[in-house]
Structure 1
Amino acid sequence: MPKKIRCCVMRGGTSRALFFRREDLPGAPELQKKIFIQAMGTPDPKQVDGLGGTTSSTSKVAIVSKSSRPGFDVDYTFAQVGVDKPIVEFSGNCGNISSAVGPFAVDEGMVNPREPITQVNIYNTNTGKKIMAEVPVKNGFFHSAGNFTIPGVIQKGSEIKLRFYQPEGAMTGKLFPTGSFIDDIEVDGSIYNVSVMDCTNPYVFVDASRLGLKGTEPPEVLNRTAAFNVMQKIRKIVGEKLGIEGEAFPKICAVSPPCSHLLRNGIELRHDEINIISRVISMGKTHKTIPLTAALCLGAAAVVKDSIPGQNVRNLFDSISRDNKVVKIGHPEGVIEVKVDYSYEDTHIKIESVACSRTARRIMEGYILVDL
């Protein structure tokens, strides 16, 4: 007889995940993986026998519990589940799903709610980093209704402010894990300059023009290019250099300077609305928007003038302040703004925190049925 396990479905930013209370899951990681694979309907590109949504953005899991750590309200573990491959990876965090952790904690009674905003201090077990969420609350529960919008989500919602503290070296222990701002990677006899940066998660940044791209290609077009295959090879080579196994990380991002172009919805994005353009490959496909940790890492990389993103960013250093910036990043469906607080120790840059705003929604709650 199938086992019933309590869970709920939540959207966080432009991603969706199954949320579990840690006490409702078995402690053995292999059993957890078996549950998550069945729950998503993996491996199957259609995921017809589960709750996955056929994309990496909707094949995700969050495990949350009250925290015993001083200064933290909850512990949160993220799992990326494959779509057409039976894999579950715990190697990094998901920024978008992080935005739903605070609301889940409020609704599940893991924190004491305070109106109108409840601050939830989250410990991400994947990276060992702190995330602070400002959660709108009404009548003791997360208040999801509002007028805040994010590209990639049609519905409006309440604004959830997220701040990721001391995000450097989330997986590798270093902001620039190779020790250089720019590295040369050889693929099929050609050399590509890349910047490898680990801020909230590790990412590889490459100049879109070096790949023969405009940088504004829609995801479905980029997926069919030779440049896509080159990016995949670069990602794999860098992962081997960093000692990171799996498909989830490092991810790779092509960047280009601002230019006016049409978004996937047909609306024009003007060059003066953004500082830089991004296209990210995630779990073997071009992301339809941008992973939140990609935006956060790219925002941090943009303030490093000697990096590949720093060479492609425009109109960012016109302001007097040098210790905080708002980086406006263009992606296939719009713009995301990332706030970067940084300082210098001698000549070395230090990223103090990165922040942005998201929306979230509790979609359904109940039980998932799995065979163990």
Structure 2
Amino acid sequence: MTRSRSAHLVRAEGAPCPTLVVDAGLLPDGDEGVLEGLARTRGALDTDTRRTVLKNAVVRPSGHPLFDLDYYFVQTLPGASERFDTHGSCGHSILAAVEAAARDGMIPPLEPGRRVRVNVLNNGDHVVCEVDETAPGRTRFTAHFLCTPARPVGDLLITGEPVTTVQVDGRQVPVSLVDMGNPYVFVGAGDLGVRDVRELFAAGDDLFVQLGRVRLAVCGRMGWDPSGAFPKIAALLPAPDGELAVRAVSVPSWHPTLALTGAICLGTAVGIEDTLPWQLARAAGHESGLVRLRTPGGSLRVRARLTGPADTPRLGWVSVADKYVSYGSTVAFPPDSFGTSVPSRPEDTSCLSLPL
């Protein structure tokens, strides 16, 4: 079967923008080749789409016997000329990629009960996308992020401690640095002068700038490039009825809800004793089990599965339920936009790989 010279725009509800999903077989080989090919692909988009769609997923059928789909996430950084960041992942884009891959015939059609196993090449994550419900143009998933083998929760603390202080504008601000799905900086909104959940969700530029300064301080302390898309940052407050309120920053503005990887990371952090998320969740009345997260765009349910002794727990997996994906459109491109000849899709993909 000959590959079509097209890509797909797919939106996972709660994401800040749709994801452009591209067949890896249409792009040149190697890390630089993929990014150059993706740049040409994006160059064929209309100006408005190129400006607003900042998430890209490059996918192909996996040659690994444990997986169905290889996935490579590329974040577009806004600016006068587009730049790319490949250091993290995006859970919403994983779900979008599964939807597009099924439409392209890379994986079997989606139906309730089907589980699609995704190999995230950026960071080695293993994600199982379980189909709960299908409807024309729309699919409901539960996303399971697996730790294989189970990881000691202490290893998820970037600094090795549950709370780290950074100096911001001459004062010490406590943060928790956790890496699960993506690296995140969690800060108590109360430490930034926010009094309640309503104020947190209504906050504008002042809080946004404060969070940016906290993130810069963390990058400076850790020796990270502050111009990249990672780490992400989110402000937290206890909410009524055992919920934890969260307001997160995306690229390049407030996130309308919370990134799926953010939910995974925060749900994990709530289970790690003495982190800020652990402290604030307990201040809200949460004790254990399912974590309910309240965002400006709705609520999320997250469950982290911890195993082993209480004094040395390990993370087995984290699940987020009720994630909806809506198909947008097929994007056709001029014949030379991909910059490579397009062969027929091979039956055996075991020798094909994306950049690691």
Q: Does 1:14 align with 2:14?
A: yes
Letter in 1 for 2:293: I
Equivalent residue number for residue 212 of structure 2: 232
SS, match of residue 47 in structure 2? coil
Equivalent residue number for residue 106 of structure 2: 110
Equivalent residue number for residue 294 of structure 2: 330
Q: Does 1:76 align with 2:71?
A: yes
Which runs of structure 2 are paired with 1:246-285 in the superposition (5 Å)? 246-258=227-239, 271-272=240-241, 275-285=243-253
Matched-pair contact (CA < 8 Å) for 1:278–1:331: yes
Greater length-normalized contact order (CA 8 Å, ≥ 6 residues apart): 2
Equivalent residue number for residue 317 of structure 2: 353
Letter in 2 for 1:292: L
Equivalent residue number for residue 129 of structure 1: 125
Matched-pair contact (CA < 8 Å) for 1:169–1:175: no
Structure 1 residues 208 and 136: CA distance shift in structure 2, 3 A: closer
Q: 1:219: how far off?
A: 8.2
**1:25-50 deviations in Å (ceiling 9; x for gaps):** 122444543454565579xxxx9615
Equivalent residue number for residue 170 of structure 2: 189
Structure 1 residues 175 and 220: CA distance shift in structure 2, 3 A: closer
Letter in 1 for 2:163: I
Structure 1 residues 168 and 24: CA distance shift in structure 2, 3 A: same
Letter in 1 for 2:272: V
Q: 1:136: how far off?
A: 5.7
The counterpart of 2:258, out of the listed 290, 297, 303, is: 290
Structure 1 residues 70 and 185: CA distance shift in structure 2, 3 A: same
**1:296-338 deviations in Å (ceiling 9; x for gaps):** 1111111223011111112321xxxx6xx21110111111111
Equivalent residue number for residue 212 of structure 1: 193
Equivalent residue number for residue 23 of structure 1: 25
Between the aligned residues of both structures, percent identity stands at 26
Q: 1:113: how far off?
A: 4.2
Q: After superposing the two structures, state which structure 1 stretch, 204-213 or 103-112, moved more.
A: 103-112
Structure 1 residues 337 and 145: CA distance shift in structure 2, 3 A: farther
Structure 1 residues 241 and 68: CA distance shift in structure 2, 3 A: farther
Letter in 1 for 2:325: A
SS, match of residue 341 in structure 1? strand
CA distance in structure 1 between the aligned counterparts of 2:33 and 2:200, rounded to whole angstroms:
35
CA RMSD of aligned residues (A): 3.0
**1:159-182 deviations in Å (ceiling 9; x for gaps):** 211100018999xx9300101000
Matched-pair contact (CA < 8 Å) for 2:303–2:318: yes
Matched-pair contact (CA < 8 Å) for 2:11–2:325: yes
CA distance in structure 2 between the aligned counterparts of 1:294 and 1:253, rounded to whole angstroms:
8
Matched-pair contact (CA < 8 Å) for 2:128–2:143: yes
Q: 1:342: how far off?
A: 1.1
The counterpart of 1:316, out of the listed 256, 262, 286, is: 286
Q: 1:115: how far off?
A: 4.6
Q: 1:107: how far off?
A: 2.1
Q: Does 1:94 align with 2:90?
A: yes
Q: 1:13: how far off?
A: 3.2
Would you tell me which structure has more helix in proportion to its own residues? 2
Q: 1:243: how far off?
A: 4.3
**Structure 1 unmatched ranges of 5 or more:** 138-142, 147-156, 259-270
Q: 1:111: how far off?
A: 2.5
Structure 1 residues 25 and 89: CA distance shift in structure 2, 3 A: same
